[in-house]
Chains A and B, each alone.
Chain A
Amino acid sequence: MADSARTRFDPYAVLKTLDRHRVTYIVIGAFARVIQGSEELTRGIDIVPSTRPENLRRLKEALGELNAQRDDGRKLRFDEHSLEPMIPLRTDAGELKIVPEPEGTRGYDDLRRAATREPLGQGVRPSVASLGDLARMLGARGREIDLENLRMLRRVIALERSRGISWER
């Protein structure tokens, strides 16, 4: 089992594996916010997968290759009818959270409209949730711990606007 305390976070390994298995997903959470310009530290990736059966089958294969294990030690099961709101995993390349329907959204089909492909190097170009959607998700969680990140994200949005860059894509 992957041990996150000793595992080096390698987002490229995670994203390449997902792409190799042709998984359809959108990156959200802290890693997405960093990609969009926020200044945070994270050792994991959160994704919203398409919950179509074929995609979940591909995702399961990709997770097998990454040696993904549940944090709570329970068996990893994917069924489109009984998906948990959030599945925290440890993989050989760091933490990975599967979030089929993030708070404040209606899941993949809701987020994909504003998501953009962001080139991260090494041939990796994941779909990343828009700044507006990332703020929406943080706001919906309403946790004290997220307030500072939400404030920072709002400043990113304001500064992007002042630079004349359209962020609502």
Chain B
Amino acid sequence: MRRTRCGTSGGIARRAELSQAELGARVGRDRAQIARWESDAVQPAFETLVELVEACGFELDFVLRPLEPGRTRDTRIAKNLVRSPEDRVRKLLRRLRD
């Protein structure tokens, strides 16, 4: 019997020692759908993710934390890297004007 390691909730499912079929039965989905989530071919909706986690005997918890300075910088750099060199120069000139 294949033990599930669902891509999104894989760690939790693994800890719960559930097979794809068992997890599918608990959330009313077939084994193939669990397999798709497991392989990250598709992502479950947020509500479904909550359901999957609960079916494994856990609950999701969220913590809001202030963004660390390093992460803010990374976000800015990541945005910059998506820009073309031409756009990066345009942005510099715009910042100098402002």
Contacts and interface: CB of A to CB of B under 8 A. Distances in A.
Contacts of B92: 31, 34, 41-42
Contact of B86 (A36, A37, A121): A121
A159 B70 CA distance: 13
Contacts of B88: 34-35, 37
A119 B74 contact: no
Given A35-B88, A36-B85, A38-B80, 8 more contacts: A37-B80, A37-B83, A39-B77, A121-B90, A152-B73, A155-B77, A159-B74, A160-B81
Contacts of B85: 35-36, 118-120, 128
Mostly helix, strand, loop or mixed at chain B's interface?
Answer: helix
B67 to A, nearest CB: 15
Interface residues of A, number: 24
A38 B86 contact: no
23 contacts: A9-B93, A34-B88, A34-B92, A35-B89, A37-B77, A37-B80, A39-B76, A39-B80, A41-B96, A42-B92, A43-B96, A118-B85, A119-B84, A119-B86, A120-B89, A128-B85, A152-B77, A155-B77, A156-B81, A159-B78, A159-B81, A163-B81, A165-B81
Interface in A100-134: 118-121, 128
A11 interface: yes
Contacts of A160: 81
B65 interface: no
Contacts of A163: 81
Interface string A1-13: 0000000010100
Nearest to A118: B85
